[in-house]
Amino acid sequence: MGEGDERSAIPVLDKDQNANFRVTLQQASKFYEQIGMASMKIGRYNEICLDDSQTLVKVEWIMKRSKEGHPIFFDATCLITNSRVSLFRVLNRSPFRECSRSDKRLAT
């Protein structure tokens, strides 16, 4: 029954504005997977997150279309770096970059 708690901890992006919020790496992975599939908004969002070592990390996520115009994915630029930021990049890459390049079924 812990699932409900986890979901309520995931922030919702404002439709038209940048949103600043804190999430854990695990929540970030789920959250971006969710909005990546659901939202067609092209834009830029700023996020302040806690990584696994509880260090604050600011990340800029940019929503784009793939070259073919198919699925949307996020590209992350780290504005404040520390030793754990690479974990964020890995999490970001797996649901979006690999899917957006190879899984054409997402383009329905």
Q: In terms of residue numbers, what domain contains 45? A: 3-103
pLDDT the model gives residue 66: 55
Cite the beta strand spans of 6-71 per DSSP E. Answer: 43-50, 56-65
In a domain, 40, yes or no: yes
**65: Cβ contacts below 8 Å, ≥ 6 apart:** 42, 71, 72
Q: Averaged over 79-86, what is the pLDDT?
A: 37
Q: Specify the amino acid at residue 46.
A: N
If one counts the domains in the chain, the total is 1
In a domain, 10, yes or no: yes
User: Average per-residue pLDDT in the chain?
Assistant: 45
Percent of the chain with pLDDT over 70: 0
Q: Specify the amino acid at residue 95.
A: P
pLDDT the model gives residue 84: 38
Q: Averaged over 36-48, what is the pLDDT?
A: 50
pLDDT the model gives residue 31: 52
- The pTM score is 0.25
In a domain, 33, yes or no: yes
